[in-house]
């Protein structure tokens, strides 16, 4: 009897141990299968707090009117008012001009510089380092630097003196010059990014394909069109989208250099949002502007990718 009892006890302990082991294995297996999702939870929470939550709040604000007595739900009234808001329409025109000129020149100059750097020139590493310096500075610092250079009797006036007879140009004080001065500042800062991306793309073009084309009698122009450009197509679309999105929301340089003036000549959409929200305390309409800008950016980016027929990550 004692032996039977001891056997039953041992069998019970073995069964219990096997059950606990099986449970631990199931837990470990579940963790192993879901670990990649568990590891992304912190990043998703941060993304939600920093991106989606502000977006949802902006959508909420854009449907409200802020009065001294409190907030009133107005639906899409703020969006309707934007269609007849002269200041907002002017800011769209100014932004379109800024984006069109700045991004085009940044791409053309950056592509040309990348092609030059791709050749075996002397001290290429030093040139690469010097070119990237403007990109690592903050827009605020760059705005302050260029504001000093644009000042009356400043560095640019000294350089332009032989052409102007010593007269001050009024780089950021004249309506006809202010926007182009801000564009010049943006070109100086962000052309290095275009150089960096396209130079990396040029370095990845296989040499054997170019050598085979040379042996087949292809000219330099033919090699550029049929070999270099196809290899760089996705990078070109990518850098244009990056610069397009960033240029559409330019703010710091405009704020430091001109505050949107003179006579709203540099009043880009981000500057108009700032004025509407913090000068006129119209947070509802400013939020509607922000949401409209987001929709515009998404439409332009998706249209650009569709037209270029590029699939990223393929």
User: Domain ranges in the chain?
Assistant: 2-62, 81-308
Q: Report the pLDDT value the prediction gives residue 17, as an integer from 0 to 100.
A: 47
Residue 96 has pLDDT above 80, yes or no: yes
Q: Report the pLDDT value the prediction gives residue 224, as an integer from 0 to 100.
A: 83
Q: Which residue has the higher pLDDT, 69 or 50?
A: 50
Residue 107 has pLDDT above 90, yes or no: yes
Residue 33 has pLDDT above 50, yes or no: yes
Per the DSSP assignment, residues forming a β-bridge with 64 are 73
Residue 231 has pLDDT above 90, yes or no: no
- Which pLDDT band holds residue 16 (cuts at 50, 70, 90)? low
Handedness of CA 256, 264, 99, 81 (dihedral sign): positive
- Which pLDDT band holds residue 170 (cuts at 50, 70, 90)? confident
Answer whether the bond into residue 262 is a cis peptide, omega within 30°: yes
Q: Which residue has the higher pLDDT, 69 or 82?
A: 82
**Distant-in-sequence, close-in-space partners of 69: CB < 8 Å, separation ≥ 6:** none
Range scoring the smallest mean pLDDT among 30-44, 90-104, 145-159: 30-44
H-helix segments, the chain: 2-47, 53-62, 77-83, 86-118, 124-136, 139-150, 155-164, 175-203, 207-215, 220-223, 229-248, 252-257, 269-274, 283-308
Is 0.75 topped by the overall pTM? yes
Residue 209 has pLDDT above 90, yes or no: no
Residue 196 has pLDDT above 80, yes or no: yes
* CATH code 1.10.3720.10 for 81-308: yes
Residue with tokens 């590029």: 310
Residue with tokens 């980016």: 301
How many whole angstroms separate alpha carbon 40 and alpha carbon 46? Answer: 10
Confirm if 250 and 314 have CB atoms less than 8 A apart. Answer: no
């Amino acid at each position: 009897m004692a032996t039977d009892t001891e056997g039953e006890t041992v069998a019970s302990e073995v069964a219990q141990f096997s059950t606990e082991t099986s449970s631990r294995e199931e837990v470990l297996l579940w963790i192993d299968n879901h670990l990649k999702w568990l590891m992304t939870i912190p990043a998703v929470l941060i993304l939600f707090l920093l991106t989606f939550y502000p977006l949802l709040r902006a959508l909420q604000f854009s449907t409200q009117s802020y009065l001294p007595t409190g907030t009133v739900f107005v639906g899409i009234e703020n969006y309707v008012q934007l269609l007849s808001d002269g200041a907002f329409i002017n800011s769209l025109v100014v932004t379109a001009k800024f984006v069109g000129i700045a991004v085009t020149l940044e791409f053309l100059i950056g592509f040309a510089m990348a092609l030059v750097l791709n050749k075996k020139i002397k001290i290429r590493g030093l040139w690469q380092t010097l070119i990237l310096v403007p990109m690592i500075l903050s827009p605020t610092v760059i705005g302050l630097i260029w504001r000093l250079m644009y000042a009356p009797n400043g560095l640019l006036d000294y350089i332009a003196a032989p052409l102007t007879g010593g007269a001050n140009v009024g780089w950021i004080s004249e309506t006809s010059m202010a926007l182009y001065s801000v564009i010049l500042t943006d070109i100086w800062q962000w052309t290095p990014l275009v150089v960096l991306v396209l130079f990396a793309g040029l370095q990845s073009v296989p040499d054997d394909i170019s050598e085979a084309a040379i042996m087949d009698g292809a000219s330099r122009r033919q090699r550029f069109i049929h070999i270099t450009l196809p290899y760089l197509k996705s990078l070109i679309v990518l850098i244009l989208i990056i610069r397009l999105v960033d240029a559409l929301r330019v703010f710091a340089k405009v704020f430091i250099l001109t505050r949107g003036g003179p006579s709203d000549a540099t009043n880009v959409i981000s500057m108009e949002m700032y004025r509407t929200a913090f000068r006129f305390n119209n947070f509802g309409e400013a939020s509607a502007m922000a949401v409209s800008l987001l929709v515009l950016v998404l439409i332009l980016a998706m249209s650009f990718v569709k037209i270029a027929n590029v699939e990223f990550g393929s």
